Structure 1
């Protein structure tokens, strides 16, 4: 139902995001990781699985990376080869600028043949040699626009600094983008400001707003918190202190994540903007993975309680009609 929900601008979309195993992982271990992923997600009521393309962003900042960078397996290859039995749509990230127009076109054909959906992201560093610009990439994708949807990324932290995220979103919408997945949200004010300014811009131009999907991530340790900040995620000082002083930082972060999701739900409903959530699970610790599942279940139930997300039987009834 993901395609239909995005095309009809229905709120309550629920995604779950993962990274593929690292390059060099044995085939047996890759298969084991995939099987555990399938087992965990089969019980979840989600609309699609996001598979990230992991890039080395070290050139973006002079600060030392808290965790060493390790290349990951190709997300399309991992999803198609190992997650095929997980019967939900897959959303695959791709840094369009790293590939030639021919390579990108071939990749999109393969994606489309499997009923997967693309999200184009930028290159890992400002000085990276770009082979295909984002407008060119969207133009290549446009041949699939009748039977597919394409997403992009939105970064509230960038809007706080440059005040132009609403303009960036509208520009990408003009190229066919219909939904946006945010960077991980820990600063509610930043996220709300993007929505507020986006609603104003859409009203001024008399166009319908896109679906905005907020990424929610648990934080299991002080080092993970440090890594989030290295990635450019802004964690307000009071929230940072709450996490650091907590007896159980993971448990505390889960509560914070659920509170953030609830507040954003109310905020978007009041402004009649279509929205959803992407629960990100990029940690390797079992406790953090289980926490992400708990967050996904909690947010899903919260959306149903607020009447935003339909239960499965309601969709079945719709189909029968």
Structure 2
């Protein structure tokens, strides 16, 4: 079991992740390797358990509004995650949307060629149009039967509101029941959509904890995602993605002298409120940070957000903790090549291994001092 996999399954401690998106699909292998190395050089000072590499899909029917940032086809998430792992020595949680006619082959390659052990199964971006791949239920079954792979799913607090339930003719919110069904289908953790409004998240976590107790199940870990915002355009994009941003929160951020710094402060307060209100619900939590744009100030703010949310999450546990560094030269224990792609020439694989040996990453060690 990889250290990332162990962390995601361990209810006794929080998991800390740093999210990123792959470069454009047209990026050459050498350029992708360079981009991954630059990302790692900046992020290796953060005490993360690993990285999330997203699978970004076009979502033309998400809302009636125009997409603030145009969709561009990106590099395959599994391929790029292999580059990030080779450069950092840390494992990646790799996202994969089920809307792919080659989904089963993708799963096989993600494990056998790229050596990934942790995947996140994401449903179709829209119910409109013909399905290109398996249903989410079918996709989970395919992943579960793949040897050496564990998987999780997403959870969306915005779907756990009275307003959302009413729009769909439901008497009450049911996202907690969706989570329960996915857990019963083999999901071992959940990662939330970016959170700006604590109320739906608090309600979802409490209802999910109650549902697990009623079913005689132990709740899976839920990793809460936070993304800073420093511009009106980014705020528009967050809301286009379906993220619920209270009006007072939006005004507080955009009217501030430094919007991006204000968003970090607000998100830290949001995490504290969630932790305080859910401490007795039995659901173990983690934190993930990401930037939803390429705006430099927002990217820089991700690092501050990671440090501050991590400290909040650990301090709430009431124990002393520290951050230490260690060599990140961890060879693969899975029997598959530890490098960008198994098909790469032996020389390239050797170079990747040397790079991995030279990288020092920061990891978290928590416990009594």
Q: Structure 1 length as normaliser, TM-score?
A: 0.90
Q: Of 291, 304, 316, which residue of structure 2 is paired with 1:281?
A: 291
Partner of 1:181: 191
Once residues 276 and 2 of structure 1 are traced to their aligned partners in structure 2, the CA distance between those partners, rounded to angstroms, is 12
1:239 aligned onto 2:249 = yes
Once residues 23 and 103 of structure 2 are traced to their aligned partners in structure 1, the CA distance between those partners, rounded to angstroms, is 27
Once residues 152 and 90 of structure 2 are traced to their aligned partners in structure 1, the CA distance between those partners, rounded to angstroms, is 17
Q: Is the contact made by 1:268 and 1:274 (CA closer than 8 Å) also made in structure 2?
A: no
Q: Is the contact made by 1:16 and 1:280 (CA closer than 8 Å) also made in structure 2?
A: yes
SS of the equivalent of 1:97 reads coil
* 1:102 to partner: Cα distance: 3.8
* 1:315 to partner: Cα distance: 7.9
* 1:104 to partner: Cα distance: 4.0
Q: 1:71 to 1:317 in 2, by over 3 A?
A: closer
Once residues 56 and 103 of structure 2 are traced to their aligned partners in structure 1, the CA distance between those partners, rounded to angstroms, is 21
> Which stretches in structure 1 are left out of the alignment for 5+ residues?
none
CA-to-partner distance for each residue in 1:157-211, whole Å, 9 max, x for gaps? 1111121101100000011101110111001101111012112211222211111
Within a 5 Å distance, the mapping from 1:247-286 to structure 2 comes to 247-286=257-296
* 1:40 to partner: Cα distance: 1.7
Q: 1:39 to 1:61 in 2, by over 3 A?
A: same
CA-to-partner distance for each residue in 1:221-266, whole Å, 9 max, x for gaps? 0110011111111100111111121111111001011111222222
Q: 1:241 to 1:84 in 2, by over 3 A?
A: same
Within a 5 Å distance, the mapping from 1:169-248 to structure 2 comes to 169-248=179-258
Q: Is the contact made by 1:17 and 1:278 (CA closer than 8 Å) also made in structure 2?
A: yes
Q: 1:17 to 1:316 in 2, by over 3 A?
A: closer
Once residues 94 and 182 of structure 1 are traced to their aligned partners in structure 2, the CA distance between those partners, rounded to angstroms, is 15
> Which stretches in structure 2 are left out of the alignment for 5+ residues?
166-172, 325-362
* 1:87 to partner: Cα distance: 1.2
Q: How many equivalent residue pairs?
A: 316
Q: 1:136 to 1:27 in 2, by over 3 A?
A: closer
Once residues 283 and 101 of structure 1 are traced to their aligned partners in structure 2, the CA distance between those partners, rounded to angstroms, is 27
Larger Rg belongs to:
2
Once residues 70 and 365 of structure 2 are traced to their aligned partners in structure 1, the CA distance between those partners, rounded to angstroms, is 46
Partner of 2:302: 292
Q: Is the contact made by 1:17 and 1:282 (CA closer than 8 Å) also made in structure 2?
A: no
Within a 5 Å distance, the mapping from 1:93-132 to structure 2 comes to 93-100=95-102, 102-110=104-112, 114-130=115-131, 131-132=133-134
Q: Of 48, 52, 67, which residue of structure 2 is paired with 1:65?
A: 67
* 1:16 to partner: Cα distance: 0.8
Q: Of 71, 77, 80, which residue of structure 1 is paired with 2:82?
A: 80
Once residues 249 and 32 of structure 1 are traced to their aligned partners in structure 2, the CA distance between those partners, rounded to angstroms, is 31
* 1:26 to partner: Cα distance: 6.0
Q: Is the contact made by 2:8 and 2:189 (CA closer than 8 Å) also made in structure 1?
A: yes
Q: Is the contact made by 2:16 and 2:49 (CA closer than 8 Å) also made in structure 1?
A: yes
Q: 1:149 to 1:9 in 2, by over 3 A?
A: farther
SS of the equivalent of 2:288 reads strand
* 1:27 to partner: Cα distance: 5.8
* 1:106 to partner: Cα distance: 2.0
Once residues 55 and 5 of structure 1 are traced to their aligned partners in structure 2, the CA distance between those partners, rounded to angstroms, is 28
Once residues 261 and 267 of structure 2 are traced to their aligned partners in structure 1, the CA distance between those partners, rounded to angstroms, is 10
Once residues 256 and 364 of structure 2 are traced to their aligned partners in structure 1, the CA distance between those partners, rounded to angstroms, is 41
What root-mean-square deviation, in Å, do the aligned CA atoms of Structure 1 and Structure 2 show? 2.4
Q: Is the contact made by 1:258 and 1:298 (CA closer than 8 Å) also made in structure 2?
A: yes
Q: 1:197 to 1:115 in 2, by over 3 A?
A: same
Greater alpha carbon shift after TM alignment, 295-304 vs 43-52: 295-304
* 1:73 to partner: Cα distance: 1.2
SS of the equivalent of 2:266 reads helix
Partner of 1:35: 37
SS of the equivalent of 2:179 reads helix
Q: 1:202 to 1:35 in 2, by over 3 A?
A: same
